[in-house]
């Protein structure tokens, strides 16, 4: 199914965001504050993932995208990276079974070639096992970077039509090759942990997303925190370039 691009058209907005994208940040600081090793924060972060997946499913969210590991996170100390890889494997083994039982579809986006063959196989298994599920789609962004995504999309686009006329390139030619072309653009972007930046997450797709930042560290983020973000989202006026008056009186519609 093709979704309306926020720049080619005006997407429908709904009371509950259809697509929520989250930068799960603050695990390390959560642990340090408790005099625990940073990795203890990552373990607790997985508990928060479980709670938020459940809460999104219960609230009728259709797509939940979680930034688990960025293309820049390889720069971290080797022992932290290997802990995160093991945690990812545990999640792929254990959590996917529970998600499958709850009709949740699991997808993974990112440059997967950098992961061990074992992880790559677990990803394929998780995606295949849950492919027929019709409830919430949970996308894990792993070794993902927004710039990587744009570049791989351009490469695929040109591989398909090497003689492509540059003037023929528009959104509808490029966007189908983006890693998350199966989902509408995020309605709501959440970043926990206090930083107010995108950190190379979904650069293309966040064009008209509502941004929500909270100081709460990811391990402390739960259903109540999600409801706070949703409440903030409901207060937003999503104009997509139009004026407030046009939203109130759709008859005043413009040209596009």
Give the C-alpha separation, 256 to 248, whole Å. 17
Active-site residue, from 12, 25, 125, 165: 25
**Consecutive H or E run containing 156:** helix 146-160
**Residues 6 or more apart whose Cβ sits within 8 Å of residue 221:** 24, 48, 51, 52, 192, 214
Position among 10, 22, 25, 210 found at the interface with Mg ion (CB under 5 A): 25
68 binds Mg ion (CB under 5 A): no
25 binds ligand IPE (CB under 6 A): yes
CA atoms within 13 A on the CB side of 60: 5
Give the nearest distance from C-beta 128 to ligand IPE in angstroms.
25
Q: With respect to ligand IPE, which residue has the nearer C-beta, 27 or 137? A: 27
The answer to whether 46 and 120 are in contact (CB under 8 A) is no
28 binds ligand IPE (CB under 6 A): yes
Choices 10-18, 61-69, 226-234, 245-253 (CB under 6 A): range interacting with ligand IPE: 61-69
73 annotated active-site: yes
Q: With respect to ligand IPE, which residue has the nearer C-beta, 84 or 122? A: 84
165 annotated active-site: no
**What does the DSSP assignment read for 197-215?**
--TTSSTTTTTTPEEEE--
Give the C-alpha separation, 23 to 90, whole Å. 20
Report which DSSP code applies to 186: P
Active-site residue, from 73, 125, 220, 222: 73
Q: With respect to ligand IPE, which residue has the nearer C-beta, 10 or 68? A: 68
Binding residues (CB under 6 A) for ligand IPE: these are 23-29, 67-70, 73, 84, 193, 195, 197, 199
Binding residues (CB under 5 A) for Mg ion: these are 25
Which residues are marked as active site? 25, 73
């Amino acid at each position: 199914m093709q979704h309306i691009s926020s720049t080619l058209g005006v997407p429908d907005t709904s009371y509950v965001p259809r697509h929520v994208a989250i930068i799960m940040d603050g695990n390390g600081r959560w642990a340090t504050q408790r005099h625990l090793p940073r990795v203890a924060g990552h373990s607790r972060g997985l508990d928060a993932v479980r709670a938020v997946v459940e809460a999104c499913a219960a609230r009728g969210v259709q797509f939940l995208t979680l930034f688990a590991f960025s293309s820049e996170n390889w720069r971290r100390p080797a022992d932290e990276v290997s802990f995160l890889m093991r945690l990812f494997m545990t999640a792929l083994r254990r959590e996917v079974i529970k998600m499958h039982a709850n009709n949740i579809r699991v997808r993974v986006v990112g440059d997967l070639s950098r992961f061990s063959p074992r992880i790559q196989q677990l990803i394929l298994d998780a995606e295949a096992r849950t492919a027929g599920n019709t409830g919430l789609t949970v996308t894990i962004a792993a070794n993902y970077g927004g710039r990587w995504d744009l570049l791989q999309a351009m490469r695929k686009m040109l591989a398909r039509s090497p003689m492509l006329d540059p003037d023929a390139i528009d959104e509808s030619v490029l966007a189908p090759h983006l890693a998350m072309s199966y989902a509408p653009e995020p309605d709501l972007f959440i970043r926990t942990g206090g930083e107010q930046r995108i950190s190379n997450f979904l650069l293309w797709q966040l064009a008209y997303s509502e941004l929500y930042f909270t100081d709460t560290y990811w391990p402390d983020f739960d259903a109540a925190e999600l409801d706070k973000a949703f409440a903030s989202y409901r207060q937003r006026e999503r104009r997509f370039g139009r004026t407030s008056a046009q939203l109130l009186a759709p008859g005043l519609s413009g040209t596009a």
